Amino acid sequence: MRPSGAAQVAGVAGWPISHSLSPRLMAAWIEAAGLDAIYAPFAIGPEGAEEAFKVLAKTGLTGLNITLPHKEIALKIADSSSDAAKAVGAANLLTFKDGKSCADNTDVAGFLSSLEEGGADPAYDPASGPALVLGAGGAARAIVYALKLAGCPEIILSNRTESRATALAEEMAINCSILPWDRRDEGLEQANLVINTTSLGLKGQNDLVMDWDQASQSCVVVDIVYTPLETGFLKAAAGRGLKTIDGLGMLIGQARPSFEAFFGVPSDDQLDVRALLETVLRHKS
């Protein structure tokens, strides 16, 4: 349906934003649901983001997904916020009503739903064993919180800057051990789940290298990076016969509750949005 003057409008705000896959994904769901709606990219620079969000809240937009570098600011400016956004300290979703904004964090649910994809059948259950989390930045915060919510019995954290890992473990009050970055392989033997939350492996960056020979054969390996879809980290793990999950699952998983929050109807679960995004990514590379 072509949008009318009464179309519901939502979008994604970040800087840069032209690489975002969210407009393609949301457009596919909007079309499938036959909605009179638009989902647009908003290039909002680091300066003035606070002001921009406050103004956009008063324009009739139903909401915004928030991506780098604005996830902390979004939480700060919101009139109210969910427990997940508060616990993570960041918001990837702002919904607007009557000029007021509400912050949420659907990366948490997105990560958990990505564990249902691809790697394990039945879905991987975080309560089934220890997880090795590599990195302690913003993405790690959402993932550690998700693992805690899902009953993960132990988290092994390793980050290049060890003090960030220690601070994260203390703040989240989790059962956690910290490994120095150069000894991160020592967590592999014990871990049922290994997650790269660092930016290593992103196109143009070095790969995150692990000694997969030390991993248990039943371990599931996740990368939240999706450009490229198969990072060096996942490729090496798959080469050792380990189950792997790429970053598209989390992208799609965080978008589903966002779509419903913006447009009031669930996203189509029959549409093969993974295939759609894989095609978009192939054309980009």
The verdict on 199 binding ligand ATR (CB under 6 A) reads yes
Stretch 138-197 residues interacting with ligand ATR (CB under 6 A): 138-140, 159-161, 164, 197
With CB under 6 A, what is the number of residues at the site for ligand ATR? 14
Judged by beta carbon, residue 43 or residue 68, the one nearer ligand ATR is: 68
Q: Which is nearer to ligand ATR, 211 or 272 (CB)?
A: 211
User: Least distance from C-beta 215 to ligand ATR, angstroms?
Assistant: 19
Closer residue to ligand ATR (CB): 197 or 267 = 197
Beta strand 80-81 pairing with 93-97: unpaired
Indicate the residue type of 224: I
Sites for ligand ATR among residues 32-91 (CB under 6 A): none
H or E segment and range at residue 208: none
Side chain identity at 77, as an amino acid letter? I
Least distance to ligand ATR from the beta carbon of 4, Å? 38
Which residue carries 């998700």 as its tokens?
146
Distances (CA, A) of 223 to 58, 177, 209, 250, 260: 37, 21, 12, 9, 26
Answer yes or no whether residue 198 interacts with ligand ATR by CB under 6 A: yes
- Which region among 74-82, 130-138, 231-239, 251-259 touches ligand ATR (by CB under 6 A)? 130-138
Q: Which of 54, 71, 100, 235 is catalytic?
A: 71
List residues bridging with 134 in a β-sheet: 158, 196
Taking the complex as a whole, how short is the minimal distance between the CB of residue 98 and ligand ATR, in angstroms?
31
Decide: is 137 part of the binding site for ligand ATR (CB under 6 A).
Answer: yes
Q: Which is nearer to ligand ATR, 65 or 198 (CB)?
A: 198
33: tokens are: 């649901």
Give whole-number Cα distances, 15 to 122, 140, 243, 259, in Å. Answer: 38, 20, 33, 21
Q: Give the amino acid at 142.
A: A
CB closer to ligand ATR out of 154 and 162: 162
Please report whether residue 244 would count as binding ligand ATR according to CB under 6 A: no
Minimum Å gap between C-beta 109 and ligand ATR is 18
The yes-or-no answer on residue 54 being catalytic is no
Rounded CA separation 195/119 (Å): 13
Q: How far is the CB of 1 from ligand ATR (least distance, A)?
A: 36
Amino acid at 107: D
13 Cβ contact partners less than 8 Å away, ≥ 6 residues apart:
42, 44, 49, 52, 53, 56, 64, 65, 66, 67, 70
Q: CA nearest 106: which of 120, 124, 94, 123? A: 94
Binding site for ligand ATR (CB under 6 A): 135-140, 159-161, 164, 197-200
- What residues are annotated to the active site? 71
